[in-house]
Amino acid sequence: MNKIYPKVPIPLNYKNTFTLLVSVLLSAQCTDVNVNNVTKKIYPKYNRPEHFVKLGRKKIERLIKKIGIFRIKAKSIFYMSKSIVENYNGRVPRTYEELEQLPGVGHKTASVVMSQGFGYPAFPVDTHIHRLAQRWGLTNGKNVIQTEKDLKKIFPKKNWNKLHLQIIWYGREFCKARDCYGISCKICKSCYPSRKKPIKTKKA
């Protein structure tokens, strides 16, 4: 991984920790490219929780309507922004507990913000990392929570932030859901040289 991706770009574009939080929330069931295309028109003008509270739900919906399940996401962004303004003086909270209490913010979103926003060692696991970890024999977890625990046990804490991004990029480039099936890419072949049948991964 370090040979292929010595420097790892962050897939989502953002201006500050708050816009990172918004982008991660928008990226659920949506590609990072689509999120970046939509937010590049939003963030120059609206990039603080106060801005989104002032906009209101309907205007947020109009701004993000090209993104999947935009009404649900607009509602989450509005109430999340409201909560940050009212409870944290407009600043994104810096703990898992506080982040996960915000509307629309789950553990994976909180992990990304802790990792990429605050530099705290975290190993955010989405369905893609979950699938790859299963293919590579790093976990037999049936959900992302178990997979995260298993990966944290295997890899040193100092590598978590970089490695989770490396796995994302590697999966997109070499170990795609429909291209590799656990039998084509270098990692799959080196982990399981005798594997002949495509591996089916358990849903996260």
Query: Cβ distance 71 to 61 under 8 Å?
Result: yes
CA–CA dist 157, 23 (Å, integer): 25
DSSP 115: I
Which of the residues are catalytic?
Answer: 108, 126
Tokens of 160: 């978590």
Instruction: Give the phi and the psi of residue 158 in degrees, each rounded to 5.
Output: -65, -20
Rounded to 5°, the CA angle 145-32-179 comes to: 75
Q: One-letter amino acid identity for 138?
A: L
Please report the sign of the dihedral spanned by the C-alpha atoms of residue 18, residue 20, residue 26, residue 29: negative
CA–CA dist 9, 164 (Å, integer): 11
